[in-house]
């Protein structure tokens, strides 16, 4: 772990602390932020076994920062409309014709986009998978992980808090929420892999 990575981890830790100050939804606070805390502990240990480039490490931290913000507001209540009105004079939902809070959609897309590089690096550097195969396997792995997360999220909330499962899962009344989340994760992954391929081609030219 170099100084850049420690700085990124410190930034993430500070974000988690701030997200836990006067939380608007204290009942879900621990459930929402426990994955980030677990990653904060695990990343230094995993980095010894599977070292990543600063760029890949930064992608992981960027994703967890997005998750930390979403976790503070229980995802469905991230007040981006209020922020947009304060900064731009009008809200995004009215301008774009949205009828639901789409922050969770952004994070699912960001999952695919930001995790593509770390997964490809680990596959290629530490498991000896050829680069082109690593690109393809990253798509399959992240799509599978996205599907498993949806199943885990559903099972966890049904077991721990069945009366609030719909709210925690961020369905907002959409019966196809899980499928749309997985589709966005796939779109993000494809874009992330395309960016890696384009970057390699530019480097080779």
Task: Tell me the pLDDT tens digit for each residue of 83-131.
Answer: 999 998 888 888 888 888 899 999 999 999 999 999 999 999 888 899 8
Cα(171)–Cα(156) distance, integer angstroms: 15
Tally of structural domains, the chain: 1
What pLDDT is stored for residue 9 in this prediction?
96
SS3 state at 74: coil
Mean pLDDT in consecutive groups of 10 residues from the start of the chain, 205 residues? 94 96 88 90 89 94 96 91 90 85 93 96 90 92 92 75 57 74 95 90 53
Q: How many CB atoms lie within 10 A of CB 27?
A: 12
- Domain with 160 in it: 3-204
Q: What is the pTM of this model?
A: 0.87
- Of 111, 131, 112, nearest in space to 121 by CA: 131
């Amino acid at each position: 772990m170099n100084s850049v990575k420690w700085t990124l981890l410190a930034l993430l830790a500070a974000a988690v602390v701030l997200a836990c100050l006067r939380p608007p939804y204290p009942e879900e606070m621990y459930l929402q932020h426990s994955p980030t805390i677990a990653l904060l502990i695990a990343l230094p240990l995993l980095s010894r076994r599977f070292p990543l480039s600063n760029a890949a490490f930064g992608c992981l931290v960027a994703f967890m920062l997005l998750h930390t913000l979403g976790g503070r507001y229980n995802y469905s209540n991230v007040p981006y409309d209020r922020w947009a009105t304060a900064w731009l004079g009008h809200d995004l939902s009215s301008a774009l014709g949205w009828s639901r809070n789409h922050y969770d959609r952004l994070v699912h897309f960001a999952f695919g986009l930001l995790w593509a590089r770390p997964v490809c690096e680990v596959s290629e550097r530490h498991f000896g998978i050829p680069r082109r195969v690593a690109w393809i396997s990253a798509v399959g792995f992240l799509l599978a992980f996205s599907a498993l997360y949806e199943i885990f999220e559903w099972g966890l909330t049904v077991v721990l808090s069945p009366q609030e499962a719909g709210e925690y899962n961020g369905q907002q009344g959409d019966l196809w929420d899980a499928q749309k989340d997985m589709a966005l994760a796939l779109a993000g992954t494809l874009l992330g892999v395309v960016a890696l391929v384009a970057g390699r081609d530019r480097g080779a030219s």
